[in-house]
Chains A and B, each alone.
Chain A
Amino acid sequence: MSALKIKKGSSRHSAYDLRDPNGELIERHTLAVLVENEPGVLARVIGLFSGRGYNIESLTVAEVDHSGHLSRITIVTTGTPAVIEQIKAQLGRIVPVHDVHDLTVEGRPVERELALLKVSGTGEKRVEALRLADIFRANVVDSTLGSFVFEITGTSEKIDAFADLMRPLGLEETARTGVAALSRGAD
């Protein structure tokens, strides 16, 4: 047993100096959370993420079963495997949460996002934008002589790629829905 060296004036031993013990790889998971459609339920979910310092990459919510008063929240989150497990357990604790599914663990889920992109320009840029939209199977849902609004559906990566291409062609505004996801195959 040796004397513990605590320097006078040092605050290195503060209780608040605790490091994250799980320095592991960060994973990206898509969670489907079935909740009772009652006031404040989204605030509970979001408050959990902000209060405990978890990440939200995207979040979508809508009622999916009107008679059963159920909404489905699809959350894309990142974290170490331990953090992802903790997120699921914490979500499960929320009283109006009925079910938490980790779609990423249950098999590569079908993930789709919808985006609207406003691109303005004339001449060659306008033609190029239209041509690329065709390649990406984006639809024109509004057009003026100087602008288009494209509607595109796909994975987040596809939408990122399309937005990157549109940027030099006059991308002005983007609206994205966030990811909706379902597991593959019969349940």
Chain B
Amino acid sequence: MTRQMTGAKMVIQALKDQGVDVVFGYPGGAVLPIYDEIFQQNDIRHVLVRHEQGAVHAAEGYARSTGKPGVCLVTSGPGATNAVTGLTDALMDSIPIIVLTGQVPTFMIGNDAFQEADTVGITRPCTKHNWLVRETSKLSETIHQAFHVATQGRPGPVLVDIPKDVQFASASYTPPGKSRTSHYAPRMKGDIDAITKLVEMMEKAERPVFYTGGGVINSGPAASQLLRELVGATGFPITSTLMGLGAYPASGEQWLGMLGMHGLYEANLAMHGCDLMINIGARFDDRITGRLDSFSPGSKKVHIDIDPSSINKVIHVDVPIIGDVGHVLEDILKVWKSRGRKTNSAAVGKWWSKIEEWKKVNCLAFEQKGKTILPQYALSRLEELTKKHDRYICTEVGQHQMWAAQYLGFEDPNRWMTSGGLGTMGYGFPASVGVQMAHPDALVINVAGEASWLMNMQEMGTAVQYRLPVKQFILNNERLGMVRQWQELLHGERYSQSWSEALPDFVKLAEAFGAKGILCKDPADLDDAIMEMINHDGPVIFDCLVEKHENCFPMIPSGEPHNKMLLGSASTKDAIGASGAVMV
């Protein structure tokens, strides 16, 4: 039996039928009918953010930490344009989110009406797909399609633009089961011939490496389990991109650490020296490959990806396998086991002894001495004191993000929320709000730099209003640290606009919002201060004053190959001049 209802009610009904429990949003003229419906129900919780960008990042945090799509509701015009950064971020990192925007009534579209923007036009290049719904009769079906497109295949952000008259008008509601899903149905199973070819290569490989990415996490927890099984059974080393951390546990025996521009020495050299590279759900991003013509010169490359456009986009691969990581891993294991679980263990053993040599370089070594906290030390202590907790980590973008990736250990997928592809400063704080909404009892920490954090600091209001005990762990060096580092290394130490002048007193700022502020500047006080942060039942701004001129190492300078890595001053402190630690 079909049910007649208004478009506004349909939105709520469709969200309920899609299993949505939280919506992040901000009201405005063009979404008032939907907000009226939100007022009259209790199934879906609405989180009032303080800026629409915050709503989208919060939805991203929710999505990444749960595996379910995140939902936002914002108004027309500025509401929609403020969502653009979050949409682009979600597109780059393949995060499933659904953004519902209000629009001026259909009869006013194109007239430059108040708060009118060409939302579908503006967001066309930064969504996986978007829709302008002109008839109420198509609204529910479109929302169901939006969930389908956002979550199937390579996940991504979608947007549904809903004019105000469409919200007011009535039509019959189409439930999800009765909706015409679009023809969009990406291929899940990989080609079995290609998988067999990969298994043959695995059996013979002398210097294999697994190179995994966010695709493993997006494929779901089962994919991470299968990955662990495959890695454990074959005995091959594994490294991961920034986006893929947690798919394989950091405490796992075969873990080499993150690879890439600020990846670990052993991970990058393994990539450079391997003879078989098995890329699982990663995309040969430029932060990973470095210089293309000398990227892993001696290896055969296999690429597993659900998106055919990722194949051969940057790096030519020998065996492409198009399909969902979970499905493909299952088949790899099946084929490999049925052929007798063979590997070239003698050669792989030698490969491991080479890797052990690289590990001895201890590229993350640092020495905490003196009265100033090193950021590496701060994160090492944070790791030590929080790793036993049910913990979720978000980050902003910059040095602190790379240090967090290096010094924190991730044992499980969906525990690490960071803006990888777009590199959005201001991502972490609202993301932590979204994560905490999904996991009310967990310890949610946003590792931040003071500059990034200020970009969306208005969300303190949200955190306090909803009593979300998010911990803002700010490594405060009063600098745009990564910009400063590049200026030091590549621009003749001309520090153009890369310092943070006129910073707020973060403790007073926290208090002004009704939250707790903690200032820590002495390494001796750090553990107690971190414990105080953990034990406080409420949002905390932790202002950790750190060394102002610390650089993030290891580092592959742009345009250089993996084996031209710069190591930090800690390991080469006698060999470097006063001007900086530019040592290989």
* Cα A24 to Cα B558 with chains together (Å): 24
Known: A11-B491, A93-B309. A39 touches B128 (CB 8 A): no
B388 close to A (CB within 8 Å): no
Q: Write out the residue numbers on chain B whose beta carbons fall within 8 Å of the beta carbon of A3.
A: 582-584
Known: A95-B149, A98-B183. A4 touches B566 (CB 8 A): yes
Chain A 38-49, CB within 8 Å of chain B: the 1/0 string?
011001100100
Known: A1-B584, A4-B582, A18-B292. A13 touches B490 (CB 8 A): yes
Please determine whether A10 and B490 come into contact, CB atoms closer than 8 angstroms.
yes
Chain A 1-26, CB within 8 Å of chain B: the 1/0 string?
11110101111111101100100000
Please determine whether A2 and B124 come into contact, CB atoms closer than 8 angstroms.
no
Residue of A nearest to B566 (CB): A4
* Cα A36 to Cα B183 with chains together (Å): 10
* Cα A15 to Cα B482 with chains together (Å): 13
Please determine whether B564 and A85 come into contact, CB atoms closer than 8 angstroms.
no
* Cα A32 to Cα B182 with chains together (Å): 21
B184 close to A (CB within 8 Å): yes
Please determine whether A17 and B558 come into contact, CB atoms closer than 8 angstroms.
yes
Residue of A nearest to B130 (CB): A40
Known: A3-B583, A11-B490. A89 touches B308 (CB 8 A): yes
Please determine whether B584 and A21 come into contact, CB atoms closer than 8 angstroms.
no
Q: Write out the residue numbers on chain B whose beta carbons fall within 8 Å of the beta carbon of A51.
A: 125
B312 close to A (CB within 8 Å): yes
- For residue A32, give the distance in angstroms from its CB to the closest CB of chain B: 17
Q: Write out the residue numbers on chain A whose beta carbons fall within 8 Å of the beta carbon of B292.
A: 18, 21
Please determine whether A4 and B560 come into contact, CB atoms closer than 8 angstroms.
yes
- For residue A3, give the distance in angstroms from its CB to the closest CB of chain B: 6
* Cα A47 to Cα B118 with chains together (Å): 15
Please determine whether A6 and B132 come into contact, CB atoms closer than 8 angstroms.
no
Known: A43-B124, A86-B313. A6 touches B490 (CB 8 A): yes
Known: A17-B559, A40-B120, A93-B309. A6 touches B491 (CB 8 A): no
A174 close to B (CB within 8 Å): no
* Cα A3 to Cα B567 with chains together (Å): 11
Known: A21-B292, A82-B312. A14 touches B489 (CB 8 A): no
A170 close to B (CB within 8 Å): no
Please determine whether B492 and A9 come into contact, CB atoms closer than 8 angstroms.
yes
Main secondary structure of the interface of A (DSSP, over half): loop
With an 8 Å Cβ cutoff, the count of chain A residues facing the other chain is: 34
Please determine whether A2 and B308 come into contact, CB atoms closer than 8 angstroms.
no
A90 close to B (CB within 8 Å): yes
- For residue B368, give the distance in angstroms from its CB to the closest CB of chain A: 26
Residue of B nearest to A81 (CB): B312
Q: Write out the residue numbers on chain A whose beta carbons fall within 8 Å of the beta carbon of B566.
A: 4
Q: Write out the residue numbers on chain A whose beta carbons fall within 8 Å of the beta carbon of B582.
A: 3-4, 6
A92 close to B (CB within 8 Å): yes
Q: Write out the residue numbers on chain A whose beta carbons fall within 8 Å of the beta carbon of B564.
A: 4
Please determine whether A13 and B125 come into contact, CB atoms closer than 8 angstroms.
no
Chain B 119-141, CB within 8 Å of chain A: the 1/0 string?
01100110011001000000000
Q: Write out the residue numbers on chain B whose beta carbons fall within 8 Å of the beta carbon of A86.
A: 309, 312-313
Please determine whether B490 and A92 come into contact, CB atoms closer than 8 angstroms.
no
B525 close to A (CB within 8 Å): no
Chain B, interface size category, equals 35 or more
Chain B 529-562, CB within 8 Å of chain A: the 1/0 string?
0000000000000000000000000000111100
Please determine whether B583 and A15 come into contact, CB atoms closer than 8 angstroms.
no
Q: Write out the residue numbers on chain B whose beta carbons fall within 8 Å of the beta carbon of A36.
A: 182-183
Which residues of chain A (144-167) have a CB below 8 Å from chain B? none
Please determine whether B309 and A89 come into contact, CB atoms closer than 8 angstroms.
yes
Please determine whether A4 and B557 come into contact, CB atoms closer than 8 angstroms.
yes
Which residues of chain A (81-104) have a CB below 8 Å from chain B? 82, 85-86, 89-90, 92-96, 98
B528 close to A (CB within 8 Å): no
* Cα A121 to Cα B363 with chains together (Å): 80
Please determine whether B559 and A13 come into contact, CB atoms closer than 8 angstroms.
yes
Q: Write out the residue numbers on chain A whose beta carbons fall within 8 Å of the beta carbon of B184.
A: 95
Contact of B308 (CB < 8 Å), options: A12, A47, A92, A94: A92
Residue of A nearest to B493 (CB): A8
Please determine whether B132 and A39 come into contact, CB atoms closer than 8 angstroms.
yes
Q: Write out the residue numbers on chain B whose beta carbons fall within 8 Å of the beta carbon of A82.
A: 312, 316
- For residue B505, give the distance in angstroms from its CB to the closest CB of chain A: 35
Known: A8-B493, A17-B559. A95 touches B128 (CB 8 A): yes
* Cα A95 to Cα B132 with chains together (Å): 15
Known: A6-B490, A86-B313, A92-B309. A13 touches B560 (CB 8 A): yes
Please determine whether B493 and A47 come into contact, CB atoms closer than 8 angstroms.
no
Residue of A nearest to B287 (CB): A15
Q: Write out the residue numbers on chain B whose beta carbons fall within 8 Å of the beta carbon of A4.
A: 557, 560, 564, 566, 582-584
* Cα A15 to Cα B125 with chains together (Å): 23
Q: Write out the residue numbers on chain A whose beta carbons fall within 8 Å of the beta carbon of B492.
A: 8-10
Residue of B nearest to A14 (CB): B558
B522 close to A (CB within 8 Å): no
Please determine whether B311 and A89 come into contact, CB atoms closer than 8 angstroms.
yes
Q: Write out the residue numbers on chain A whose beta carbons fall within 8 Å of the beta carbon of B583.
A: 1, 3-4
Chain B 171-211, CB within 8 Å of chain A: the 1/0 string?
00000000000111000000000000000000000000000
Please determine whether A47 and B124 come into contact, CB atoms closer than 8 angstroms.
yes
Q: Write out the residue numbers on chain B whose beta carbons fall within 8 Å of the beta carbon of A98.
A: 183
What residues make up the interface of A, taking CB atoms closer than 8 Å to B?
1-4, 6, 8-15, 17-18, 21, 36, 39-40, 43-44, 47, 51, 82, 85-86, 89-90, 92-96, 98
Contacts A14-B559, A39-B132, A92-B309 supplied; 9 other A-B pairs, CB < 8 Å = A4-B557, A4-B566, A8-B493, A9-B492, A11-B491, A14-B490, A40-B121, A89-B309, A89-B313
**What are 12 A-B contacts defined by CB distance under 8 Å?**
A4-B564, A8-B492, A10-B490, A11-B491, A14-B490, A17-B558, A40-B121, A44-B124, A51-B125, A89-B308, A89-B313, A95-B184
What residues make up the interface of B, taking CB atoms closer than 8 Å to A?
120-121, 124-125, 128-129, 132, 149, 182-184, 286, 292-293, 307-309, 311-313, 316, 489-494, 557-560, 564, 566, 579, 582-584
Give the 10 A-B residue pairs with the shortest CB-CB distance, closest first.
A9-B492, A89-B309, A15-B558, A8-B492, A95-B129, A1-B584, A89-B308, A21-B292, A90-B309, A13-B557
